[in-house]
């Protein structure tokens, strides 16, 4: 049985099906048994725990909400609950699963040829192959439409030049989904590890997402066969549709980090005593922080669930997912800060997961569209006026 009691202030569990609860329980047990015992050391060493990859594949975690080619075909709420549990373990683990499924398998399934799907999807699903998604460049983060990486035709081949950076799993990946400018507009290309002219270098010195590999990808007259272009990925819109998938998973995932921070603070405040041998939980200012956290987590759970049901019903809009990502990351960051505060000096120690979550969540606030960018998406949705420039 899981040691984590879950967080359910308002009988939200009654809104989940038995199958959804079963998926959550399976992921919860995996995180308790396999992730929590090793994540603190992996984070401190700055290493991704690669030994977990085959097990995650066997559990069906990669591309879990996709259909066919060995994928688990989960509904989006099952998928979200799985992401929640993974990020309770660590945001780096959830990032690995997000990239593999939403940013590599999803574009191959959605925009790829039958040959590309058959070649890559079963291996990516099992974890035998690892993928990465190269969109961001050194000069272009929030505005990828200005990207400078190019892909030019040369006979039946493509020649890639340019650089991508901040790429999760870049140094581990067997295949990179790379976005580059062609004469016909932005397109996507599958670049395999070992291709001449393609190299990667890992970024060191991160104080966030330490249990995740982040790399730069370099392309210098890198020649790939014509059939490595994803034939239906046309324009930046295709790249953004992948980000929408990944942001959905983030909106659920960060709930796990927030819940872990809340539960750590709640249980600590009941045993830690100050002033007249009373638990700090008996002080009003402490209760105010716990009340804020549980209220915001409950609202965020309901938002995630509603967006998940909309997605399953084919009614979700990217702007809905922007609200989910923006809100849930913001409350998770605040839960981590409040929880750290409630643990006093102990809150800064790696014996507790709080500082690790807090540091990770700074990345989660920035990647997959910063909080500002999602604010502008919501602003455009309600005014009709784009204010990005």
Ligand X SMILES: Cc1cc2nc3c(=O)[nH]c(=O)nc-3n(C[C@H](O)[C@H](O)[C@H](O)COP(=O)(O)OP(=O)(O)OC[C@H]3O[C@@H](n4cnc5c(N)ncnc54)[C@H](O)[C@@H]3O)c2cc1C
Catalytic residues: 368
219 is a contact residue toward ligand X (CB under 6 A): no
Q: Which of 71, 97, 177, 209 binds ligand X (CB under 6 A)?
A: 209
Long-range Cβ pairs for the range 119-122 (8 Å, 24+): 120/175, 120/190, 121/63, 121/68, 121/69, 121/70, 121/71, 122/69, 122/70
Tokens of 289: 């922080």
35 is a contact residue toward ligand X (CB under 6 A): no
Tokens of 218: 């370099």
What separation in angstroms does the CA of 379 have from each of 119, 133, 185, 319, 322?
A: 41, 28, 27, 9, 11
Residue 201 has a CB neighbour count (10 Å cut-off) of 12
Q: Which stretch binds ligand X (CB under 6 A): 147-155, 294-302, 335-343, 366-374?
A: 366-374
333 is a contact residue toward ligand X (CB under 6 A): no
Q: Which stretch binds ligand X (CB under 6 A): 31-39, 60-68, 252-260, 369-377?
A: 369-377
Instruction: Decide whether 212 or 264 has the Cβ nearer to ligand X.
Output: 212
First CA to last CA distance, the chain: 51
In angstroms, give the least distance from the CB of 209 to ligand X.
4
102 is a contact residue toward ligand X (CB under 6 A): no
Q: Which stretch binds ligand X (CB under 6 A): 81-89, 263-271, 337-345, 365-373?
A: 365-373
Label the pairing between strands 214-225 and 198-202: antiparallel
* Rounded Cα distance, 359 and 206, in Å: 10
What separation in angstroms does the CA of 301 have from each of 166, 217, 329, 331, 335?
A: 29, 36, 12, 11, 14
142 is a contact residue toward ligand X (CB under 6 A): yes
Contact 191, 197 (CB under 8 A): no
DSSP summary character for residue 320:
H
Instruction: Decide whether 12 or 355 has the Cβ nearer to ligand X.
Output: 355
**Which residue has the CB atom at the shortest distance from ligand X?**
141
Q: Which of 99, 130, 297, 358 binds ligand X (CB under 6 A)?
A: 99
Q: Which stretch binds ligand X (CB under 6 A): 28-36, 40-48, 163-171, 248-256?
A: 163-171
- # residues contacting ligand X (CB under 6 A): 20
46 is a contact residue toward ligand X (CB under 6 A): no
Q: Which residues of 286-314 are buried (b: 16+ CB within 10 A; e: fewer)?
A: beebbeebbebbeebbebbbebbebbeee
100 is a contact residue toward ligand X (CB under 6 A): no
In angstroms, give the least distance from the CB of 128 to ligand X.
20
Instruction: Decide whether 207 or 285 has the Cβ nearer to ligand X.
Output: 207
* Interacting residue ranges for ligand X, rule: CB under 6 A: 99, 133-136, 141-142, 166-168, 209, 214, 363, 366-368, 370, 372-373, 388
């Amino acid at each position: 049985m899981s040691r984590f009691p879950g967080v359910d202030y308002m009988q939200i569990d009654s809104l989940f099906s038995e199958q959804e609860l079963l998926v959550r329980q399976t992921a919860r047990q995996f995180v308790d048994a396999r992730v929590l015992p090793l994540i603190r050391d992996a984070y401190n060493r700055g290493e991704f725990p690669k030994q977990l990859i085959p097990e995650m594949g066997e559990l069906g975690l990669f591309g879990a909400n996709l259909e066919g080619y060995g994928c688990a075909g989960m509904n989006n709420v099952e998928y979200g609950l799985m992401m929640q549990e993974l990020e309770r373990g660590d945001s780096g683990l959830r990032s690995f699963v997000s990239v593999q499924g939403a940013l590599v398998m999803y574009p191959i399934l959605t925009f790829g040829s039958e040959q590309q799907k058959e070649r890559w999807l079963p291996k990516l699903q099992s974890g035998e192959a690892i993928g990465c998604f190269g969109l961001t460049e050194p000069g272009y983060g929030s505005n990828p439409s200005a990207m400078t990486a190019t892909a030019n035709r040369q006979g039946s081949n493509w020649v890639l030049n340019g650089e991508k950076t901040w790429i999760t799993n870049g140094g581990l990946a067997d295949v990179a989904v790379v976005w580059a400018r062609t004469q016909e507009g932005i397109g996507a290309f599958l670049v395999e590890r070992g291709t001449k002219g393609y190299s990667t270098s890992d970024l060191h010195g991160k104080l966030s997402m330490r249990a995740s590999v982040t790399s730069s990808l370099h392309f210098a007259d890198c020649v790939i066969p014509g059939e490595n272009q994803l034939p239906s990925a046309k324009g930046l819109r295709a790249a953004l549709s992948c980000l929408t998938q990944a942001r959905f998973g983030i909106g659920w995932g960060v709930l796990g980090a927030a819940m872990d921070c809340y539960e750590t603070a709640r249980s600590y405040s009941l045993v830690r005593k100050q002033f007249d041998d009373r638990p700090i939980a008996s002080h009003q200012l402490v209760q105010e922080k716990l009340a804020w956290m549980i209220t915001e987590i409950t609202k965020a759970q309901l938002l995630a669930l509603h967006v998940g049901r909309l997605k399953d019903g084919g009614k979700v809009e990217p702007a809905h997912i922007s609200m989910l990502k923006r809100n849930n990351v913001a409350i998770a960051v605040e839960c981590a800060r409040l929880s750290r505060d409630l643990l006093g000096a102990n809150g800064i120690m790696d014996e507790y997961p709080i500082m690790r979550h807090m540091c990770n969540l700074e990345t989660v606030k920035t990647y997959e569209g910063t909080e500002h960018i999602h604010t502008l998406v919501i602003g455009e949705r309600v005014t009709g006026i784009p204010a990005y420039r």
